[in-house]
Every structure is written in C-alpha cells, then in structure tokens.
C-alpha cells in the first residue's frame, strides 16, 4: 500500500499555524519580467480580514516588491524541520533497509497583495508587530518626528488570503516504534519542539493505522 510522505493539514490547523507566524517568505511575480521575487518578511496574521484572514507586514520603500499586485502573492510559513537519520529507527537497527529523510512542516498562504501607504495603517502594523515579539518595547518612546520619518520609508503590505494549505511530514508513514525513536533522537539534539509535534501528530495517526491492521488480521 502506498503511504504519502507528507500529510495535508486541515484548514483550521493551517490557520492556527499562521497565528504563530514570525518570519515568512513573501513570493510575488514581477509584472514586467514575470520572474518570481522573494523577500523574508516579519508578518502578523489578522484573522478578521476576509474569509481566511490576511498576512500583514511591511517593506522598505526601495524594495519595489510591494508593487507586484498584478498576480497572486504567496506567503510561505515554515515550521521546524530536521534531518532524520535511519539510526533512529529501531526497525533499521533490526535489519530493515531504509534511507535518511527530512521532517518538516510548512504552510502556504496564497492571496491578493494589497499595499498601504497610509501612515496610520503602517504605524498600527508596526505597533502590532512590536507587541507580538517584544511586549516590553514602547514605541511611544520614539520621537514623533523621527517615527514619522521611519514610517515614510516603509510601505505596508497585506496578503488577503484566498487559499491556505499546510503540509506536515513528520514520519507519519513509519511505525509507532520508529516514530518514537525519531522523537527520542530529536530530544537528544535539543529539538524537543519538533519531537513534541511528532508525538502529538504522528504517533496517534500511526497507532490508529496499526490498530486497523490488527483488526483486519483478526477478521480473516
């Protein structure tokens, strides 16, 4: 039986991941050259915009990617990832042939790129960004004239999401013992966040699959 290497997240799971976004890749198409352009952008997710929410950020004004509004934009939000050595699989140590792989999680949000030059919108966004990542920082400590100058150097961007897709490749196709072996290996490297995700996502999936196989054997 073919088992897919990665699994699609539900829309709710993908949107939940967007709520924890930090730095993500903004990919647009240059309307003149039709070449893809990428810039890492610190985003804030606003779930109240449209049906699926919006990714809100800013670019320096000289970065003309903000003008790429003729084609849909893509925001790529990456979760944790890690190399997986076969040595972590008990089945491999017992003699089963297998190869290394890479585990990861990623969410892709596609939508319409909207630009904002209104200073109030940009300031509100910068405040929301600061509050998300540095709650102790007070933007009001900045001189108003200096802040106004900084804001004029920015263009606000907003990707109003029309579709969102999440992919989770966390060894779901392996046995429960192999999954726990990988999670333990990640723990040993201090990658407990990814190990926790494997135990919460992959272990239940694999356990249910193994139970179904055992039930099928019992019915023969």
Least confident range of 45-59, 75-89, 129-143:
129-143
CB contact set of 130 (below 8 Å; sequence gap of 6+): 137, 139
218 band by pLDDT with thresholds 50, 70 and 90: confident
- Give the model confidence (pLDDT) of 115-154 as tens digits: 999 999 999 999 999 999 998 999 999 999 999 999 999 9
Q: Is 116 helix (H, G, I), strand (E, B) or coil?
A: strand
CB contact set of 115 (below 8 Å; sequence gap of 6+): 66, 67, 69, 155, 156, 157, 158
- Give the model confidence (pLDDT) of 60-69 as tens digits: 999 999 999 9
What are the CB-based long-range contacts (under 8 Å, 24+) for 181-186? 181/88, 181/89, 181/90, 182/84, 182/88, 182/89, 182/103, 184/88, 185/84, 185/85, 185/87, 185/88, 186/82
Beta strands in the chain (DSSP E): 7-8, 23-29, 36-42, 44-46, 54-60, 73-84, 101-116, 154-169
Whether residue 28 contacts residue 68, with contact meaning beta carbons closer than 8 Å, is answered with yes
Q: Is 163 helix (H, G, I), strand (E, B) or coil?
A: strand
Lookup result for tokens 């939000």: 77
pTM across the whole model: 0.89
Highest CATH level, class, for 7-169: mainly beta
Element (H, E) at 177: helix 176-188
Domain assignments of the chain as residue spans, ordered by start: 7-169, 173-220
CB contact set of 148 (below 8 Å; sequence gap of 6+): 119
Phi-psi region of 50 (alpha: psi -120 to 50; beta: other; left: phi over 0): left
Cα angle vertex 11, ends 190, 14, to 5°? 25
DSSP per-residue codes, 33-50: T--EEEEEEE-EEETTST
Residue 75: closest CA among 18, 35, 131: 18
Question: What average pLDDT does this structure show over 74-85?
Answer: 97
204 band by pLDDT with thresholds 50, 70 and 90: very high
Rounded to whole angstroms, how far apart are CA atoms 69 and 81?
A: 31
């Amino acid at each position: 039986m073919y088992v897919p290497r990665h699994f699609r997240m539900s829309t709710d799971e993908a949107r939940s991941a967007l709520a924890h976004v930090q730095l993500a890749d903004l990919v647009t198409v240059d309307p003149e050259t039709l070449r893809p352009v990428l810039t890492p952008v610190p985003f804030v997710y606003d779930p109240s915009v449209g049906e699926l929410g919006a990714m809100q950020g800013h670019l320096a004004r000289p970065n003309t990617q903000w003008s790429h509004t003729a084609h849909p934009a893509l925001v790529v939000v990456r979760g944790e990832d890690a190399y997986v050595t076969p040595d972590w699989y008990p089945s491999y140590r017992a003699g089963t042939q297998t190869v290394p792989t890479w585990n990861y999680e990623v969410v892709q949000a596609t939508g319409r790129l909207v630009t904002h030059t209104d200073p109030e919108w940009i300031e509100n966004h910068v405040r929301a960004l600061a509050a998300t990542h540095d709650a102790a920082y007070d933007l009001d400590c900045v001189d108003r004239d200096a802040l106004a100058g900084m804001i004029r150097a920015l263009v606000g961007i907003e990707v109003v999401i029309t579709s969102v897709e999440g992919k989770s490749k966390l060894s779901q196709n392996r046995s429960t013992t192999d999954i726990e072996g990988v999670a333990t290996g990640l723990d040993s490297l201090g990658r407990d966040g990814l190990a926790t995700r494997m135990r919460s996502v992959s272990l239940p999936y694999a356990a249910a699959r193994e139970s179904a196989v055992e039930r099928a054997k019992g019915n023969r």
